[in-house]
Amino acid sequence: MTTLREIKDITICESTAELLTKGRADSVSTVFDRADDIKPCPIGAQQACCKHCYMGPCRLSTKAPYEKVGVCGATIDVFQARGFGRAVAAGTAAHSDHGREMAELFLSVAKGENTDYQIRDTKKVYTMAGYLGIATEGREFNDIAVEVGEACLALFSQQHGHIKFLERAPKKTFQRWADLGILPRGVDREVVEMMHRTTMGVDQDYKNIVLGSARCALADGWGGSMVSTGLSDALFGTPSPVTAEVDLGVLDEKRVNIVVNGHEPHVLDMIVRMSEDPAMIAKAKALGAEGINVVGMCCSGNEQLVRRGLNHAGNFVMADAAIITGIVDAIMVDVQCIMMGLSTISKCYHTKFVTTNYRCKVEGAEHVEFNGEHGAMETGKKLVELAIDNYKNRDKAKIKAPSKKEKMVGGFSHEAINYMLGGSFRGSYNPLNENIINGKIRGVVGVVGCNNPRVKHDWVHVELVKELLKNDILVVQTGCSALALAKLGFMQPEAAEKYCGPGLREVCAAVGIPPVLHSGACVDNSRILEAVCEMVAAGGLGNELADLPIAGAAPEYMSEKAIAIGHYFVASGALVAFGVTFPYTPNTKFADYIFNEIENDLGGKWAFEPDPYAMAKLIIDHIDKKREALGINVAKERVLFDMEARRQL
Ligand code: MSK
């Protein structure tokens, strides 16, 4: 019989703990319990197993001297590289299939074939046209939008040349990719090629596979993900600072509660809009509810949080806890990070578990197919009605409504950061760079990624961020990680006073921003690429992305998508630190390459460190090394100008 962890060892999130305690009393099994029940396979965890042909599966010893090889003769380094390459391909495919869906939706709207959605940010369309080299002068907006949509869609199946958005990178970074021969052609081509190269009897040079994976990952960050973020901004608005509330306390016992869990912003957008329809509200009221409450969960929720201030219930591992409240009338899911266990747990309560995407059906779930291009409004209504009808089935004996929620400010797209720093007339990254050069801000770190039930929920994210803030490092966030910090108040401007070193505190107070900036969903990590390009362009911090005092971290990751994201940041020149676990065998040539030598090729490198304090230290050391190389490691003395000096300036 498995011994389950005590709740206090599972999570630092009060509302999750409260509901998990109730869940145990209700005898339901959650993702955390299953993590206790199933121990990870030690051979698989170290990627010392290859099952890509049927002469095996081959399992190698994870102890030096690694003399044993697979039936085909492949070494442990090739085993690891193959597994790594396939994870990158899978992550790239996930972001990019989502990006393609956004491109198709955008195109249907631009062509006037789909009136259920509108293009809300026309400026973004012009900006994207500029990046894609599409002429705008003297042309009708709709013609430009159609050409932008078609050009974005074409990036997926492009066979030659390179993905145009890569030209947004600094020239030196672009040249590094060109010299290595890893400029990605089209997204689909790179995914297919990586699957081919890692099949039996093809690429058997671990470095060549890792560099091939970099090409694939770049197609994700600078291709599929960038298309997704850009066109979603065009359709639903580019994020700018907005307030919202987060945590399970956003569920309202008196209203019909709909939780939307997944990654497709158009599904959630439509459900929110339909829930605001007076006829729907009247229907809910007729059944005794005070109204309809739609909240996000994981990443489509993040997208709508940073765009319209939609309240958010929490990160993806909190979906079980949400259902255990007994007041979720429907949980509606689309794609990615949807746990099959939700189907089982929802049956223990009155909650309807509804799948909406043909790619993601779950045994035991009700399926209502949502097609953004055809009948979206009608399906949106049907979904809301389904939740309303289920309100009457609540079991009063099983209800425990949580009250904890926190206020936050989110919506920091790179455009919003530009505006906040420089104002609408002279928006610029110069003030950020100046504060990095004068040492008030030591560096910038993206803390992103998932939660993993094998470690204490949210704890690693929070402790890492605390250490970074204390050391004057500005934190940018996306995905489930962002929600961990938001739930504890780190996304309020007042948090600067409480958690930051003196330099960062001063900058945050002057600009009026929180020290932890929420930029959106996991697919929106491309916004961080955009921001770091702006930093190089603003000047004073080197000539390529690898020169910047920046880093990335995914301290509680669990998804292959995170590996793809991590690798596109490494390939773009950043140090990327992952926690929990990492699919490698220590002291092998593969390990030495990805953690050290790869820096000579790509400018960035990987690090693995499960302890948040040790992770913070290695990140800070890296940032200091970059500051030293830039000659800005010593904080410059402040010079006070008198009036005459100001006039001369
Ligand atoms: S949802 S990929 S658990 S961030 Fe984007 Fe969260 Fe990670 Fe899924």
**Each residue of 516-563: pLDDT tens digit?**
999 999 999 999 999 999 999 999 999 999 999 999 999 999 999 999
| Cα distances (angstroms) measured from residue 646 to each of 67, 582, 599, 643 | 70, 54, 43, 5
Q: Residues near 572 by Cβ (< 8 Å), separated by ≥ 6?
A: 169, 173, 218, 221, 529, 532, 545, 602, 603, 604
Distance 560 CA to ligand 1 centre (A): 10
Task: Walk me through the domains of the chain, giving residue ranges and CATH numbers.
Answer: 76-236 (1.20.1270.30), 248-398 (3.40.50.2030), 414-630 (3.40.50.2030)
CA distance linking residue 322 with residue 453, whole number of Å? 16
Q: Whose CA is nearest to atom 8 of ligand 1?
A: 337
Q: Whose CA is nearest to atom 7 of ligand 1?
A: 450
Place of tokens 């996306």: 478
For a mutational test of ligand 1's pocket, the pick from 98, 315, 450, i.e. the residue with the most ligand atoms closer than 8 A to its C-beta, is 450
Q: What is the pLDDT of residue 633?
A: 84
Q: Whose CA is nearest to atom 3 of ligand 1?
A: 450
- 97, two tokens: 């299939």
Distance 518 CA to ligand 1 centre (A): 14
Residue 553 sits at φ, ψ, to 5 deg, of -150, 140
What would you report as the CA-atom Rg of the chain, rounded to the nearest whole angstrom? Answer: 24
Closest approach atom of ligand 1 to CA 479: 4
Distance 580 CA to ligand 1 centre (A): 15
- 210, two tokens: 């890792």
Closest approach atom of ligand 1 to CA 315: 6
Distance 483 CA to ligand 1 centre (A): 11
Distance 174 CA to ligand 1 centre (A): 29
For a mutational test of ligand 1's pocket, the pick from 225, 299, 454, 524, i.e. the residue with the most ligand atoms closer than 8 A to its C-beta, is 299
Distance 510 CA to ligand 1 centre (A): 33
Q: Residues near 498 by Cβ (< 8 Å), separated by ≥ 6?
A: none
- 195, two tokens: 């699957």
Q: What is the pLDDT of residue 638?
A: 47
Distance 342 CA to ligand 1 centre (A): 16
Q: What is the pLDDT of residue 69?
A: 96
Q: Which of 503, 430, 455, 445 minimizes the C-alpha distance to 476? A: 445
Q: What is the pLDDT of residue 153?
A: 97
Distance 600 CA to ligand 1 centre (A): 30
Query: Exposed (0-12), middle (13-18) or buried (19+): which is 133, by Cβ within 10 Å?
Result: exposed
AA identity, residue 71: V
- 216, two tokens: 């694939």
For a mutational test of ligand 1's pocket, the pick from 304, 480, 519, i.e. the residue with the most ligand atoms closer than 8 A to its C-beta, is 480
DSSP β-ladder status, 49-50 and 58-59: antiparallel
Q: What is the pLDDT of residue 649?
A: 45
**What residues flank ligand 1, with Cβ below 6 Å?**
263, 298-299, 316, 336-337, 449-450, 479-480, 521-522, 559, 561
For a mutational test of ligand 1's pocket, the pick from 316, 318, 485, i.e. the residue with the most ligand atoms closer than 8 A to its C-beta, is 316
For a mutational test of ligand 1's pocket, the pick from 336, 337, 519, i.e. the residue with the most ligand atoms closer than 8 A to its C-beta, is 337
DSSP β-ladder status, 292-297 and 352-355: unpaired
Residue 646 sits at φ, ψ, to 5 deg, of -65, -40
Sites in the chain below the pLDDT cut of 70: 1, 422-427, 635-649
- 334, two tokens: 């689309």
| Cα distances (angstroms) measured from residue 303 to each of 94, 386, 535 | 17, 24, 24
Q: Which of 275, 333, 272, 273 minimizes the C-alpha distance to 299? A: 333
Per-residue pLDDT tens digits for 19-57: 999 999 999 999 999 999 999 999 999 999 999 999 999
**DSSP β-bridge partners for residue 147:** none
Q: What is the pLDDT of residue 419?
A: 85
**DSSP β-bridge partners for residue 605:** 575
DSSP-assigned letter for residue 500: -
CA distance linking residue 283 with residue 255, whole number of Å? 12
